A and B are shown apart, each in its own frame.
Chain A
């Protein structure tokens, strides 16, 4: 029997007074991978941002319980320290901040939070080396500024690399497949798969089924107009791929 990692109940959220999420219910247990699929504008990315605590997203109702805490009350950094990780759809460039330095700062924040000693640069390099191989990152990337001048594929690999180093309990991957060619997609997916453990979990947000050939989910949920309108196993993704989103969203319209 696995433990509940996150329990989202009737979550509604808005941006600038416009309601985007209209009652999401989702429970993710340790060891599970959930895919959230849906057409553009259905609220997929909003869900990711609400979970990570981004400013400008107002939670209007419902609750999110994460590892026994009320997630909504926590600052973004507290969520991260408690093991929540968002892999950004558009990773932010931070000129002037060295990639290794940045990651070590984050890594040590998490260690401090767990009551562990901070790790020095030399030991940290050991941790990093191993994970770099996993994501097939060139050495040079660690000496550059965070995401600055990285190609689209490099940025996404860097996100999963950060995830590998920070070792989160719950990862939310926001359209990690967008803009990736098939080789980069495989590298990223291999990385994510290698990080799967019995006591962690992932929510994979994607528009296309393609990524799910490589990261095989336990559950697939279809998000439309701020609600999960259908849930199923991995075969649901294939069905969506074949029939398109209209099949399901129209179905809902008919039913309503």
Chain B
């Protein structure tokens, strides 16, 4: 095999050369892509020696020849079952990284608001895209974010002008198939101007069984007093790999909620970064991962408190079976000016087997003196007192364990405000938990 001797970045560089020659887009975008590939050349793929990657070995990803697909696929997978079907808002379906017009549905939006895909927005609203694209997420956060920038082509583009509200949640469905391509590079951009509001669901699913690599970056800008609820659901086949970053740039008195529900793939890495650049910001990060087999799910969160009077509350739960692995790394920065910060972080995991493991690492760096910061990380079995309490009321041990495991997951699900999403996830995760408990 050639990959044994070759530097693993070579094929990507070669692919980029071809891509750069033919890719659509204005000059500034070509420059941006070039910056991406330059950073990628310098950074390469992450290794276990890098602090941000010490818990997650990405070598298995390099063992496949994943190359960004630059052409849309012609396949139209069956996606009806993959939607949160009771929602009537816009549904954008991306198949192997590109918007499928045939599968997508665009609902009416308030005047001036835009819900479309990036490739179209680059043609219809190039200035708006230029103003925001790649302004928030770092291109050099890792080799993967650099690679994502290098191959920017498509993704979702959501724009809300001042005061506009889209009530119905916007569904973004990313489906991978067993078609010609095995990689999706997705670049999503959400811009919510002052006092606007929307709810966005990103759902990553597999319509195929083959190994597939998803590299996604979502940039979210939430302006003064705007409100964004972002719900990510990642449920891909166990051969697949998923590396994603959500970068939220938050302004004064805005409200941002992120839910990250991950039943994983073979390796899933979710970076969720919040930058609080104004006072009085409320953010909540909820996370739930349920994994089995040899799956790995890694969440890295960063709450960067740059200004006073901001709250960030993180609640992460994990349920792990078999020989699966969970990682939670929660960084909280409280900068010198960020007095009266209230930052809470809790990461709890239940391991159902001896073979499952969790690495949880809170990382607090506090430079202000009048703040409230708490963190807690627990990894273990179900609370034996609670099991006994159930049994003392007539519920047998196996049922008690089942009840408590479901409740543990339910605690996170119930925080999602979108009812059809909550109900569907409850059902789906119930089945998933049953499978894990049965083993």
Contacts and interface: CB of A to CB of B under 8 A. Distances in A.
Given A55-B384, A94-B404, A94-B407, A106 B389 contact: no
Contacts of A103: 393
B108 to A, nearest CB: 36
A94 B389 contact: yes
Contacts of B406: 96
Interface in B388-411: 388-397, 399, 403-404, 406-411
Contacts, number: 75
Contacts of A88: 389, 392
Interface residues of B, number: 24
A28 interface: no
Contact of B393 (A75, A113, A162): A162
B411 A77 contact: no
B414 interface: yes
Nearest to B406: A96
Contacts of B383: 92
A77 B404 contact: no
Contacts of B393: 80, 102-103, 106, 109, 162, 166
A36 interface: no
B80 interface: no
A110 B407 contact: no
Given A80-B394, A96-B411, A162-B393, A55 B403 contact: no
Contact of B410 (A77, A85, A92, A96): A96
Contact of B414 (A52, A75, A96, A166): A96
A81 B394 contact: yes
B385 interface: yes
A53 B391 CA distance: 9
B407 to A, nearest CB: 3
B394 A106 contact: yes
Interface string B208-231: 000000000000000000000000
Given A77-B395, A80-B393, A105-B395, A97 B385 contact: no
Interface string B87-128: 000000000000000000000000000000000000000000
Interface in B366-423: 383-386, 388-397, 399, 403-404, 406-411, 414
A95 interface: yes
Interface in A88-115: 88, 91-97, 102-103, 105-106, 109-110, 113
A55 B404 contact: no
Nearest to A86: B392
Contacts of B385: 92
Contacts of A162: 393
A54 interface: yes
Contacts of A55: 384, 388
A69 B291 CA distance: 43
Contacts of A109: 393-396
A76 interface: yes
Of A52, A54, A76, A106, the most chain B CB neighbours within 10 A belong to A76
A52 B408 CA distance: 26
Nearest to B414: A96
Contacts of B388: 54-55, 76, 92
Contacts of B390: 94, 102, 106
A77 B394 contact: yes
B388 to A, nearest CB: 6
A76 to B, nearest CB: 4
Contacts of B414: 96
Contacts of A80: 391-394
B394 to A, nearest CB: 4
Contacts of B391: 53, 75-77, 80
B383 to A, nearest CB: 8
Contacts of B409: 96
B58 to A, nearest CB: 34
Contact of A76 (B392, B404, B407, B408): B392
A189 to B, nearest CB: 22
Nearest to A162: B393
Contacts of B384: 55
Given A97-B403, A109-B395, A113-B394, A92 B389 contact: yes
Nearest to A111: B394
Contacts of A76: 388, 391-392
B396 A91 contact: no
Nearest to A95: B411
A91 B139 CA distance: 52
Given A55-B384, A86-B392, A97-B403, 5 more contacts: A80-B391, A85-B392, A92-B383, A96-B411, A105-B399
Interface of B: 383-386, 388-397, 399, 403-404, 406-411, 414
10 contacts: A53-B391, A75-B397, A91-B389, A92-B385, A94-B386, A96-B407, A97-B407, A102-B390, A102-B403, A166-B393
10 closest A-B pairs by beta carbon, nearest first, are: A96-B407, A80-B394, A106-B393, A109-B394, A76-B391, A92-B389, A96-B411, A96-B410, A97-B407, A77-B391
